[in-house]
Structure 1
């Protein structure tokens, strides 16, 4: 009768890594395929190019001020938000410009500022900038 020699188990024991790598690659492909990319909506900021020199010519931009309580001033007089389009069109009839500057107080509600921006764009002004007053 022949006896077996006791050998160490380290010589023959190996773990097959192929199934684990297959699962990892399948999970990677699954997550890449199911990921959705969304474009965030927001206001576009048009900044002047850095090499553009400021001009010393006076600007004829429409100036609109909004205080902390939401009161709108155009040309030094208080205007209701429903009359911003009409006042802007009157200003455009008298002045040839395509820019408006909205100066809002830091505590002004954002919705009012956006409403004024929409009204000004409806009146025909293309470039609208927003300034925050502290």
Structure 2
């Protein structure tokens, strides 16, 4: 009889506390060690006309059409070649302002690619997207 009573008393109970502690420690570890992305975007704000009429400052106009074609001062140019062409034109006129005008159908990829290329070449540029 005693053996039967002892067996019922010796039944083990599952203690969940150590498992919960481990889960919380792992959660804290992954939160602390996670890499948070800092994505930056384009600041597309309306800018005032920096080249008023009658001014002697030259403007280098880069136009992007709806088919992602690129034009510098009316001449068709490959999108990849724009930063080098702009640098050449800025060598001739160092105070020249670079202005990019994109039509409403222009892809965002083309505008962002051009902005990245201009930033890599350290060329200040203003971007205007037509509505």
User: 1:112 — aligned with what?
Assistant: 110
Secondary structure of the corresponding residue to residue 42 of structure 1: coil
Which structure 1 residue ranges, 5 or more long, are not aligned?
Answer: 1-33
Whichever structure has more helix as a proportion of its residues is: 2
SS in 1 for 2:42: coil
Distance 1:122 1:62, change over 3 A: farther
Quick check: 1:99–1:125 contact (8 Å CA) kept in 2?
no
Aligned residue for 2:9?
A: none
- Decide which structure has the larger Cα Rg and report it: 1
Q: State the 1:132 CA deviation.
A: 2.0
> Does structure 1 conserve the Cα–Cα contact (< 8 Å) formed by 2:44 and 2:127?
no
Map residues 69-84 of structure 1 onto 2, 5 A cutoff.
69-84=67-82
Match of 2:122 among 105, 120, 124: 124
- C-alpha RMSD of the superposition: 3.2
Gapped regions of structure 2 (runs ≥ 5) = 1-30, 32-36
Query: Structure 1-normalised TM-score?
Result: 0.56
Q: Alignment partner for residue 98 of structure 2, among 97, 100, 103?
A: 100
Report the 3-state secondary structure (helix = DSSP H, G, I; strand = E; otherwise coil) of the residue aligned with 1:113. helix
| Matched positions, count | 95
- Within-5 A mapping of 1:12-91: 41-44=40-43, 55-56=52-53, 57-91=55-89
| Partner Cα distance (1:79, 1:54) in 2 | 24
Runs of 4+ with >4 A deviation: 45-49, 53-56
1:54 offset after TM fit, Å? 8.0
